[in-house]
Amino acid sequence: MTTRVRHTATVETVERGRLTVSIDRNDSACSACAIKSLCSTAKNRSTRLDIDDDGRKFNVGDTVTVNIAARAVRYPMLWSIIIPCLLFVGIIAYGDFAEIDENKTGLAAFIAVVVYFFIGFLVKYILRKRQVEITLQPQ
């Protein structure tokens, strides 16, 4: 069973197959979330999302439901926090074990994390498509 978070949103703009929706939510929408204190969207009353419309026709002002899979919280934490930390610590540990100069090891670890985030920046559009699904809300 896949856990989903549902928010009601309003379509703000529609252009070239992309929607911008605005989620106006109350405090109860995020109250059950375990990481709400770490989430920047939980602090804002209104959030804007850019989403592909997948060929469906939406108009400005339409009410839609945004379904966000639970993996949308787990995967970004994995890819943006855990893996870079493991990469950095792994390179530092290897440099210490192989008795490589500390300055070279630190620079190599820093460069590896920068390259990792640059590659992540290049593929963010591919990852984004897998996390958010949008459906029309019945009137």
Q: Cα 75 from chain centroid?
A: 8
What average pLDDT is seen over the chain? 76
Which residue(s) pair with 51 in the sheet? 19
User: How far separated are the first and last CA of the chain, in Å rounded?
Assistant: 27
Any idea what the Cα angle at residue 47 is, between residues 61 and 120, rounded to 5°? 120
Chain segment 64-73, per-residue pLDDT in tens: 877 776 666 6
* Extents of the domains making up the chain: 4-136
**139 has pLDDT over 50:** no
**Dihedral sign, CA of 74, 77, 79, 83?**
negative
In the block, tokens 């920046």 appear at 121
Chain segment 40-72, per-residue pLDDT in tens: 555 566 777 777 766 667 788 888 877 776 666
pTM comes to 0.55
